[in-house]
Structure 1
Amino acid sequence: MFTTGANIEGRPPSTGFKTADAEKNAGSGSEIHHEVASLSSSGHGDKTHRTLRSRHIQLIGIGGTIGTALYVQIGKGLLNGGPASLFLAFTIWCTFILAVTMCMAEMVTYLPISSPFIRFAGRYVDEAFGFAAGWNFFIFEAAMVPFEITACNVIIHYWSDAVPVGGIIAITLVIYGLVNLLAVKWYGETEFWAALGKFLLIVGLLIFTFVVMVGGNPLGDRFGFRYWKEPGAFTELYYTGSLGRWLGFLQCLIQASFTIAGPDYVAMAAGEAENPRVVMPRAFNAVFYRLTAFFVLGSLAVGILVPYNDAEMALAFSSGAPGAAASPYVVAMNRLKIRVLPDIVNAMVLTAAFSAGNSYVYCASRSLYGLALEGKAPKVLTKCSRAGVPYYCVLIVLCIGLLAFLQVSNNAAVVLSWFVSLVTASQLINYSVTCIAYLRWYSALKAQGISRDSLPYKGLLQPYVGWYGLCGCFVMTFVGGYTVFLPGMWDVPTFLFSYTMVGVCPVLFVGWKLLKKTKFYKAAEIDLYKNLDEVEEYQANYVPVPPR
């Protein structure tokens, strides 16, 4: 996906990475040099520490990609569109996420700083654009924290209702606080092991699907692709005939657009990654394999295991059954009389929910920190602990997480679900922002005579890939609430849930633009070198510690 380039034209030759001889000559002082390099800031005023290692970054990418939606909510797509619609929708949307990943990877590997794509929006397009983009991303990530805490509570109640709701929420918040307020390496370690569990679960479920479909189950039923034929590969939604099948596919595509993620979680760790120009490209490249293995094959497996008209799955969703009860995998296990495995799946889904919430705390706090570094949030938020953690930002996010206590009351739980629904379009807006920032950056490189071949890494087929990602994400931002425009289906809450952030972002943009009198940068005016010296100095001084 990426090709290695040379040094940046118009700049002093980058000292880049030390050769093997240089590392050897470093002798016994290598550990000292490594320690100094790892703690150097990634930008002016940035006091975070580069202590996340390659294995942390790789697994953080997996942790951010896989959530409970891949195991449980994916069943709704099957009910709405059928197995073929689900598989096609997830496959098609993966190509758009891959396009966004390629845009993000090229910019972030060039300038791996804290909250990179948020800050790039302000630097490469317009400071007001960066303000709107940054707060959009923060609001989305912060709103998802109480949602995932609530998900943990619901999953635990799959086994028993004896555990009090408030106790589960309090314990989860305390653990999030400990993990995120200690040195960032502890966040990295936590995500490493949690994400490893997610990885093993989805791989295990894919193997389970293959084994049972060829007859390896207690019933000895070799069902193969039976459910693609009976009841069928496509189902109708809202209308009959071709229109109904098209709307079923569209509903699956909408679900895919809110389910599939990944590159933004990798990018947010860039400012705290050790040796980022080597580590980050590997992590971004791995997004392609994760998209293929987890989402494409996962959507295929679900359609193999369960028919779209399965009564148990439909009842589980309609009744709000706790935990993994509505998961197509659990439904298939129950049908095939397989014991114990449903409990194991529920336990691993609990790990997935916890890990997702942990990632949201990290990303929300770092996005707020990035806004503060750029002067778009109070300066006090740039304060970091001795371990390099922006503790004020983390505490603010944890305070927002207290909204999870609304779950204690049934009526308040409805308010929480509304709150989360209001930010559903934020992720797509964020991806559109990334593509716009990339296209402006691409134009700046061209206008300032900098060859993309000279960049540390170069994405393929640009700028066409950037335009492809932008068109897909921008269109789907408005498609998400299409049902309210169907005859007789107008619903004010649904309209607000679908389009609130679409309206809020322009207000943020216009408000900051009027307040600060910002301007849209011409390609020749865009500053491509801000913070670059700090990154190159870090790379020049970086000497890896030999593996133990």
Structure 2
Amino acid sequence: MATPVELGQKFEHEEGRTNSSLSLKQTDHTHRRLKNRHIQLIGIGGVVGTALFVQIGAALAKGGPASLFVAFTLWCFVILAITECTAEMVTWIPISSPFLRFADHFVDEAFGFAAGINFFFFQAVQVPFEVTAVNLLIQFWTEKIPVWAIILIVLTLYLIINVFAVSSYGETEYWLALGKAILAVGLIAFTFVTMLGGNPKHDRYGFRNWDPSSVSGAPFAEYTKDGSLGRFLGFLACLISASYTIAGPEYVSMTAGEAMSPRKTMPRAFSSVFWRLTFFFSIGALCVGIVVPYNDPNLIGAINSPAQNAGASPYVLAMERLGIPVLPHIVNALILTAVFSAGNSYVFIASRTLFGLALEGKAPKQLTYCTKHGVPIYCVFLVLGISCLSFLELGNASEVVLSWFINLVTASQLLNFAVICFTYLRFRDALKAQGISRDSLPYKARWQPYATWIALFLTLLMAFVDGYPVFVNWNVTTFLFSYTMIGVTPVLFLCWKLYHKTKWRSLKEIDFFSAERQVIDEYERSFAISKN
């Protein structure tokens, strides 16, 4: 009897031949080797990093503890809506780079091109940023290690992990993401114990930082303006931070083409990703507002420092304030693994995004080449080539340049969420037009289509709201960094549409990847037989 891995390889190659017979532009020769436990934690691996453990302190300083907690909790419900609609599509059609190819097949070829370029650019630029963060975290201990050596070691490790095989990536990311989960749970436990007096100073500080009558207490802090307007702007700053920090469903979906038994694995992964991320981000935001005052001088100084290493983490600041000697070093080590894991996830997702574009003929066909282990190696090489931007850190203005790249793509994630929502609405309308009951799908999204419409509106709104300070104090550079991708993405859509004369997909003529689904159905049946 063939093993599940052998079956995954066999049917993936058959899928490639079937695709070719349907005149699809390229073939998919990736292998289904990611297990359920891998996928369960990959969604965490891509989004839990410096943003949750370090950079969240900047949002706290602007809005205060209550604004931070409310904003992060509210945005988790937006992510829930996006998770639901993504799950319904991907569990039925678990192919490589799914939601990007859905945008092509369910909306318009030009729409898929614009969405793919936007998402690829967003993921690829994140890699050098995370590599730079690794160096800053190491500087928490020592500055004697050459920067170029750290960058070279990190990029080499990414190359080894992502090139050998899909299973090596899944196994590595599983353990790294597990470390993130342990760190997050440990910091929540640290908050609970110390706030009740379990610290060297025996200080039962509780919710002191939430108490308006205390010196440091202001649950809703004022930001840039006084009074109610200032408190609203503080909350808005926290909501903007949450909208760019909390993600997950898109990372899980990108594993669909390489998941073992996807019809069983993917629904479980989507169901768990929301609750896990809500726990980490919502409870994490609550804890950050407990352990350190929003106006703490050390927090403000660390935020304004050009090198924000682990010393800028609210948790590390709290540990130092409470006189806890060793724990900051342990936390820094775990944050280091979290940042490394985030960069590793970005390499994987960016390479698979580029692979999906190549499969649809929107990138050079050479990028569809896979090794015998099912790795789109040229895509990985290209992403790692872009990651060499991290060597800019060797220059004096490196942090400025890298921050430019990050600021340039801040709107890309929200645009990507909007793409998923709009694609799902078209998917849902096409099912209705063709008389296909949603009850027949492996997973039926809840609260539809209302939840998706709300998520679509809020993601587009936040994409435009992010740069609102520029209209208060006009700055051309800030305006360009805040709104470039919002302008570039429609231009990409129009250029592809006009050049290729593409047409808006007819709801009654949309093909739900029927050939691919047949191959996946047969693979699922054979997989079940092999397990028995």
Pairwise CA RMSD of aligned residues? 1.3
SS in 1 for 2:405: helix
Q: What per-residue deviation string (whole Å, max 9, x for no partner) do you get for residues 215-247 of structure 1?
A: 111111111111101322011111100000000
SS in 1 for 2:193: helix
Q: What per-residue deviation string (whole Å, max 9, x for no partner) do you get for residues 327-386 of structure 1?
A: 110111111111111111111111011000000000000000000000111111100000
Q: What per-residue deviation string (whole Å, max 9, x for no partner) do you get for residues 132-180 of structure 1?
A: 0001000000011111111111111111110000000000000000111
Q: Which residue of 2 aligns with 1:455?
A: 441
Match of 1:521 among 501, 505, 523: 505
How far residue 416 of structure 1 moved from its aligned partner, in angstroms, is 2.1
- Amino-acid identity (%): 59
Q: Which residue of 2 aligns with 1:106?
A: 88
Match of 2:476 among 488, 492, 500: 492
Alignment-mate amino acid for residue 479 of structure 1: V
Measured in 1, the distance between the counterparts of 2:4 and 2:258 equals 17
The answer to whether the 8 Å contact 2:4/2:531 transfers is: no
Q: 1:34 to 1:327 in 2, by over 3 A?
A: closer
The answer to whether the 8 Å contact 2:93/2:517 transfers is: yes
Aligned pairs (5 A) from 1:143-542? 143-229=125-211, 230=214, 231-486=217-472, 489-530=473-514, 531-542=516-527
Q: Which residue of 2 aligns with 1:3?
A: none
How far residue 59 of structure 1 moved from its aligned partner, in angstroms, is 1.3
Q: TM-score, normalised by structure 2?
A: 0.95
Equivalent pairs, count: 516
Q: Which residue of 2 aligns with 1:10?
A: none
Q: Which residue of 2 aligns with 1:141?
A: 123
* Unpaired runs of at least 5, structure 1: 1-28
The answer to whether the 8 Å contact 2:415/2:459 transfers is: yes
Q: 1:361 to 1:457 in 2, by over 3 A?
A: same
How far residue 67 of structure 1 moved from its aligned partner, in angstroms, is 1.4
How far residue 40 of structure 1 moved from its aligned partner, in angstroms, is 2.3
How far residue 320 of structure 1 moved from its aligned partner, in angstroms, is 2.9
Measured in 2, the distance between the counterparts of 1:67 and 1:75 equals 13
The answer to whether the 8 Å contact 2:4/2:527 transfers is: yes
How far residue 544 of structure 1 moved from its aligned partner, in angstroms, is 7.1
Measured in 2, the distance between the counterparts of 1:415 and 1:529 equals 42
SS in 1 for 2:202: coil
The answer to whether the 8 Å contact 2:96/2:257 transfers is: yes
The answer to whether the 8 Å contact 1:121/1:133 transfers is: yes
Measured in 1, the distance between the counterparts of 2:320 and 2:371 equals 50
Aligned pairs (5 A) from 1:111-130? 111-130=93-112
Q: Which stretch shows the higher mean deviation, 288-297 or 177-186?
A: 288-297
Alignment-mate amino acid for residue 261 of structure 1: A
The answer to whether the 8 Å contact 2:223/2:231 transfers is: yes
The answer to whether the 8 Å contact 1:158/1:322 transfers is: no
Deviating beyond 4 angstroms after TM superposition, the runs of 4 or more aligned structure 1 residues are 544-547
SS in 2 for 1:102: helix
Measured in 1, the distance between the counterparts of 2:398 and 2:419 equals 33
How far residue 520 of structure 1 moved from its aligned partner, in angstroms, is 1.0
Q: What per-residue deviation string (whole Å, max 9, x for no partner) do you get for residues 299-351 of structure 1?
A: 00001111111011111111234421011101111111111111111111110
Alignment-mate amino acid for residue 241 of structure 1: G
Q: Which stretch shows the higher mean deviation, 527-536 or 107-116?
A: 527-536
Alignment-mate amino acid for residue 107 of structure 1: M
The answer to whether the 8 Å contact 2:5/2:32 transfers is: no
Q: TM-score, normalised by structure 1?
A: 0.92
SS in 1 for 2:46: helix
The answer to whether the 8 Å contact 1:34/1:545 transfers is: no
How far residue 291 of structure 1 moved from its aligned partner, in angstroms, is 2.4
